[in-house]
Structure formats: C-alpha cells, structure tokens
Amino acid sequence: MRKKEMLIAAIVILSGTTALAAKFQSRVSGAWGDSDTWEEWVDGCDCWRNTSNVPATGDKAIARHFVFLASDEVVGCLDILAGADVDAITHQLTIDGTFGLAALDIRTGGDLLVGSGIVRLTSSDTHTIDGRLFLDTSTSILRIDESLTLGGDGRVIGQDDSAKIQIQYDKTLTAASNVTIEGRMKIQGLAPMGPETRNGALANNGTVSANAVGILQLMSGLVISGSGVWHVGSDTASDNPILLFNAPATALTGAFQIRDAGSLLDINQNVTTTADIIYDAGEINTITNSSTFTFGIGTGACVTQPVSPLTNQRFMPCP
C-alpha cells in the first residue's frame, strides 16, 4: 500500500469509520502479480484506468477473468464474479479483510480453486459463497485463522481424500443454512499451541455431504456442533461415499441422511443428535465397539438395518 493510502487508512480508523483502499478489477486473464492483468479505480475521474500496481493488503480485487497466482499474495477482499476463476495453483492467497472490508465474495457462476496451494481466511468479516470453492488436489488447504461464517448458497467442494479444511485452535468455522461442504476431504480442528484450551471447531448449520468416491473425514480433535444436515450418498451407485466421524459430536440437532446403496456412515466416536436419521439405503458401520450413534424419534426417522451398537428410542419402518 502506498504511503498516502496508509495515512488515510490510519486517520479513518481513528475516526471510527470504514477506511478506503485501492480497488482493482481484472481487465484480461493473467497472473495476479502482473499489473497488465488489472485496472485500477481512480476517484478523481470515477473511472477505471490501466495501472502499474497490483492488488495487495488493504485493497479490493474484483476478478472478472481467469486470474492465477505465480507467487504468494495478500489482499483485503476478493470478489469473484460470474464466469471468473481465481486459481492459487501452488501458492498461498491470504484474504485478510483489512479495514473491515467484506473479505470473500464468490458470486454465482464464480470459482475459487485452491489447487496445490493454500487459501487463508484471516478475517472474521463477511465471507459469502454463492459460487464454488474447490479443494481440488491432495495438497489443497483452506485455512481458517479467525472465527467466521460462510454464508450464501454455494458449495465448498473437496476433490481428494487428502485435501484439507484446517480450523485454527479456539476458532470456529460456521457453515450457514444454505452452504454445502461436500465431496471428499479432511476437516481438521488444530490443537492449541499455548494456554488456549480448545481445538478448532466446525458448526454445521448447513449441509455436510459425503457424495463422491472416497471419504469425507471429520478428524480427531475437531469440535463439532450445529443444526445442519449430515448427508452421505451419491446419485452414482458405484461411488460408495463414506462419511467418517473420527471426532465425537454429542450435541447435534440436525438430521442424518443415509442415501443410496453403498453409502457408508462410519462412527468412530460417540455421536448424538436430537433429530432424525433418514435411512433409505446403504450401511451404518461403527468402527469401535465403545462408540454409539444416538438419534431422535421424529416422524421422519426411517431405519431398516440398524447395526449394534446403534441406540435410539424408536425405529420406524421404511416404506
């Protein structure tokens, strides 16, 4: 950020209002760090002009094209418009929400690809996904460094068993009601490094769905809560998706949906929900004899093949 802009930012913060940042939009497809990719908003003429700068800390970037990272980058906020792609490839993209700007906004039809890199969300400001965020390789990492909510109607899609969502200790990732975290990946709650006492947490108020070949794994140590749906199943019978609980979840209020033959819900720790289990097909398997799966008795519950040590108060026959 240039010295003049830093001075303006400091003055605005002290006055308690939203600070100004430089604003960029892509004018062609290209590398993030190439100024030819961008044009910059000029207040004096209220217009976009070619620039020798690129988006950086405290700035707003609007992607209208395919923009890829050729080096690590930091930006205050990022809007990805319909038809645009931003790809981290092998680098780290940090979205820090500097000066209270809305941090990440993926519009319907827009995509953010983590690739073999890292996308870090380091701000508790608004993050909206109406498009798609792909964890598309074995080394893809979405790193949550502050407690935040993912809102919108979009999808976070894991495409490799080893892709990761990592949630920093003492922080919570909340998935809002219309957000879906799906596919195959690992969701980790990182352990405290000092006096902090809680691992990273996932509050699922939307949908977590294992719906592809492979495993969606809730890793040991992750703190799990929420009123959302836990779904396992795929429209393709040969996919045989697995939803694996390697962490306990004893205060859930959302339904479990086990759909389609070959779908597998693995319970390796105690899991309890006050809502229904909707059991159309597939299997339930508990890995350890000491674990239990407890669920509610709502009118939607439908179980055909309960396997010990499942526990509940009533099974209802499937049609």
CB-CB neighbours of 309 under 10 Å: 14
Amino acid at 86: V
Residue 250 · residue 273 · CB < 8 Å: no
- For residue 196, the model assigns a pLDDT of 74
Query: How far is the CA of 293 from the CAs of 18, 56, 80, 105, 201, in angstroms?
Result: 48, 48, 41, 37, 20
52: tokens are 């020798």
Picking from 2, 84, 70, 75, the residue whose alpha carbon sits closest to that of residue 34 is: 70
- For residue 276, the model assigns a pLDDT of 75
Dihedral angle computed from the Cα positions of residues 200, 201, 206 and 207, in that order, rounded to the nearest 10 degrees: 80
Q: Are strands 229-232 and 215-218 parallel, antiparallel or unpaired?
A: unpaired
Q: Which residues of the chain are modeled with pLDDT < 70? A: 1-20, 98-102, 280-290, 296-319
Place of tokens 């819900």: 265
- For residue 126, the model assigns a pLDDT of 75
- For residue 236, the model assigns a pLDDT of 81
pTM of the model: 0.87
d(CA 219, CA 271): 14
d(CA 59, CA 25): 11
- For residue 293, the model assigns a pLDDT of 75
229: tokens are 């749906």
The phi and psi torsions of 143 (rounded to 5 degrees) equal: -105, 125
- For residue 297, the model assigns a pLDDT of 58
Q: Are strands 92-95 and 66-68 parallel, antiparallel or unpaired?
A: unpaired
CB-CB neighbours of 282 under 10 Å: 22
Residue 154 · residue 132 · CB < 8 Å: yes
d(CA 95, CA 57): 8
d(CA 270, CA 286): 10
